[in-house]
Amino acid sequence: MQLLFDDFMGFAIGDFPYDPEHSAMGEYHYYPPKGYAGQWYDPITSFNFRGPSWMITEEDGRHYMEQQRQNPPLPGTPTRTALVAGEKDWRDYTVSVKFRAFEPSEPSGLMFRYQTAMATYVFTVGGGRAAFEKIEKIHTTLLAEVPARIDCDSFHTLAVKVEGTVMTGYLDGQAIVTAEDDTYREGCIALTANMPTQFTDVCVETDEASYAELLKKRAAKAAALAAKQAKYPQPKLWKVIDLGNFGAGRQIRFGHLTGTDEMFFVMAQQQKRVFKDRYANISCLTAVSVDTGKVLWQWGEPRECVGPDNLTADVPLQIYDIDGDGIDEVITSRNFKLYILDGRDGSVKKWVWTPVNDIPGDQLVGIEFKKHAFERLNVDAIRIVNVSGNDRPEEILIKDRYSRLWIYDKDLNRHWMFTEYNTGHFPYAYDFNGDGRDEIFSCYNMVSADGKLVWKLPVHTDHTDEIIIGHFDPDRDEDLIAIVSGWEGFMIVDTKGNIVARDINGHGQRISAGNYCPDRKGMQICTTTYWGPQGIIYMYDCKGNELWHWEPSSNGNVIAPVNWCGDGTELVLLNGNVKYGGLMDGDGDVVVRFPDDGHPDLAAEVLSLTGDARDEIVLWDEKRMYIYTQDRPAPAGEKEYRPFKYPHYNESNYRGEFSFPNWE
């Protein structure tokens, strides 16, 4: 029984779809490569890449999928090129491929029982050997090897038969090596090569008994999923807002700009300066009513965007009542000035120049070319904090891309500056010692309310992308810090700087916590990866033990917790795409899908808008915004589920998301 066959004749000659910018857009946008991909997807991305990883070539009327990278695994990682196809529920099957290795000193071959790019078996030939290997996150285990030789001029046939725990490898029709392992019992297939290699005639077959068993399991799973989905409200379109010529990607903030209950959003258009996204400058802010879709005010000159500007940095913008007069201000930075704008009309209430870059660029982390592009600071992000012990947060934290942060008061007087290795993307402010003043956790550093280093984690590379803090584990009295820090992995840290749990699960990119699995104690923590093996979703228990992993084959999964039902159980927002997006439960099942109504799916946000405590989903691109609510009323009862969530006044493209239980 044939499960898959591809000779790539269905592809036109040219590049397999890829992001020509090799950008970070997919960290928080649904941003699929454009073009025909057939039944395949490429799970590997790198900012060091140039050009495509895969292309379709032709000779004598035959088509070949050709791997283009000179790409041995990066030290300390299992990152290998891969082109994935098939279904993750395949169990016992035989996969074969014809291939020609242009440089046979390096391995080429197949991944099988592929679950993610960091959880798979590999069978390759090259360098004088044929080998079975197992990839488990950052660990690669040799299962078996034998001498084997191929040449660069000939096509060879490589095959793997996997049955139960036994795998048999074939080269040109001859069984040459066997191995046994029970780590992965199912998974799809992928092509892989460390050097340029041509592939064709990929075939996956299974016997009739295995196929019958597969169909039986699929039917049972489909029935169980349908029963789950029937319990959940379906998305109902609530608002459509035309973004005119002021639209952008995930460069948005929400708040009450007029001192009333009316919700507004402010959308920022930016222009890149100098190099990549390091020095983007806001060119226009537009304040819009969520209720009416009407523009309240505009600051700067809008422009028609061709795409969402491809901005992959944060936005120096927050909405907050910084002076305590009951009306939100807009706090932003533009053209080397730090501004406080009146939320009602966008007029300037206060401004100061940003700091002078008085520390040489070659003495700081993350300064491109080791030299400042401008004499004054180009602000990367803004956060509202309380380092003075006031009754409410009244200070403004600003930062550059990676190396320094500054604190200003509500009158824009500068208090202090801190630098130590790396700031990460969005530092977290929290009163760790109970004195009423916020400490700042920044990358790996705990900083006092006075700007002094208290402690730092024993981690010396990469940086922290996202942070959440809370009482995840009911067996511990203290709140804990959970972070994802690139190739330093996912960590849970106590307030004294001790690493409680750690899992290097890829390049950790996003993190959230919620009551995703109500039958388990404590909070569950969800993370994603991006650079290298991208888009892998992991679910952990409150102690940092992995519950499951899933590679959904798309980017842009924001994994924000969603109070969709109002019953105390959170769902996880993936993205807004009809096929790859939706809301996922704690088991990894997508239980709510978005309607196929032509809605935009570039960017997504979660917040409560319609009056009850349940969340709505906001989807938009540079042209339109769609807002979805539930198709049925909230459950009636004496109490309403109103979880504690991240406040709107500290929004960021690099903040972890949380939802802590609360009934009122």
Q: Mapping DSSP to helix (H, G, I), strand (E, B) and coil, where does residue 133 land? A: strand
DSSP 3-state of 229: helix
Name the amino acid, one letter, at 187: G
pLDDT at residue 307 is higher than 60: no
In angstroms, rounded to a whole number, what is the distance separating the alpha carbons of residues 417 and 450? 9
What's the pLDDT score for residue 276? 82
Taking residues 336-345, what's their average pLDDT?
98
Task: Flag whether pLDDT at 230 surpasses 60.
Answer: yes
Q: Tell me the pLDDT band of 424, cut-offs 50, 70 and 90.
A: very high
As a whole number, mean pLDDT of residues 236-264 equals 96
Calculate mean pLDDT across residues 5-30.
96
The answer to whether the CB of 125 falls within 8 A of the CB of 107 is yes
CB 526 within 8 A of CB 548: no
Surface-to-core class of residue 215, CB atoms within 10 Å of its CB (0-12 exposed, 13-18 middle, 19+ buried): exposed
Average per-residue pLDDT for the chain: 96
Residue 606 main-chain phi, psi, to 5 deg: -120, 125
State yes or no: pLDDT of 277 exceeds 90.
Answer: no
- Judge whether residue 514 has pLDDT over 80: yes
Q: Strand ranges (DSSP E) for 490-575?
A: 490-493, 499-503, 508-514, 524-529, 532-533, 537-540, 546-550, 560-562, 571-573
pLDDT at 206: 98
Distance CA 94, CA 77 (A): 28
Q: Is 27 helix (H, G, I), strand (E, B) or coil?
A: helix
| Among candidate residues 591, 573, 632, the one with its CA nearest the CA of residue 226 | 591
Taking the C-alpha atoms of residue 135 and residue 137, their distance in angstroms, rounded to an integer, is 6
Write the pLDDT tens digit of every residue in 449-507.
Answer: 999 999 999 999 999 999 999 999 999 999 999 999 999 999 999 999 999 999 999 99
CA distance 440 to 448: 6
Name the pLDDT band for 2 (thresholds 50, 70, 90). Answer: very high
- Look at the alpha carbons of 422, 423, 428, 431 in this order and tell me if their dihedral is positive or negative: positive
- Percentage of the chain with pLDDT > 70? 99
**Which pLDDT does position 103 carry in this prediction?**
95
Say how many Å lie between the first and final Cα of the chain, rounded: 57
Residue 294: count of CB within 10 angstroms of its CB: 10
Q: What span, in angstroms and rounded, lies between the C-alpha atoms of 431 and 447?
A: 11
Q: Exposed e or buried b for every residue in 48-72, given b needs 16+ CB within 10 A?
A: ebeebbbbbeeeeeebbbbbbbebe
Identify the band that residue 309 occupies on the pLDDT scale cut at 50, 70 and 90: low
Give which of 287, 289, 253, 249 is closest to 651, Cα–Cα: 253
pLDDT at site 445: 98
Query: pLDDT tens, 570-599?
Result: 999 999 999 999 999 999 999 999 999 999
Please give the order of strands across the beta sheet that includes 571-573: 560-562, 571-573, 583-584, 590-592
**Residue 72: pLDDT above 80?**
no
- What is d(CA 242, CA 627) in angstroms, rounded to the nearest whole number? 12
Distance CA 245, CA 251 (A): 14
Which residue has 């989905």 as its token pair?
229
> Is there a contact between 130 and 145 (Cβ–Cβ < 8 Å)?
yes
Tens-place pLDDT, residues 172-213? 999 999 999 999 999 999 999 999 999 999 999 999 999 999
Query: Quick one: pLDDT at residue 428?
Result: 98
Which residues lie closer than 8 Å to 557 by C-beta, 6 or more apart? 510, 528, 535, 537, 574, 575
Nearest to 650 by CA among 410, 426, 383, 427: 383
CB of 31 within 8 A of CB of 19?
yes
Q: How far apart are CA 652 and CA 511, in angstroms?
A: 13
φ, ψ for residue 553 (rounded to 5)? 70, 20
How does residue 312 score in pLDDT terms, banded at 50, 70 and 90? confident
Distance CA 485, CA 482 (A): 10
pTM: 0.97
Contact 187, 120 (CB under 8 A): yes
Its sign, for the CA torsion 378, 256, 574, 35, is negative
C-alpha of 58 from chain center: 36
Q: What is the pLDDT of residue 472?
A: 96
If you search the block for the tokens 């990549």, which residue do you land on?
Answer: 276
User: In this structure, what token pair is assigned to residue 244?
Assistant: 């005119």
Partners of 550 in beta bridges: 537
Residue 215 host element (H or E)? helix 208-229
* Domain architecture of the chain: domains with CATH: 2-217 (2.60.120.560)
- Within 8 A by CB and 6+ apart from 38, the residues are 6, 8, 10, 11, 85
Is 471 exposed, middle or buried, given 0-12, 13-18 or 19+ CB atoms closer than 10 A? middle
Q: What is the pLDDT of residue 65?
A: 98
Could you give the C-alpha distances from 129 to 75, 99, 109, 145, in angstroms and in order? 21, 16, 12, 7
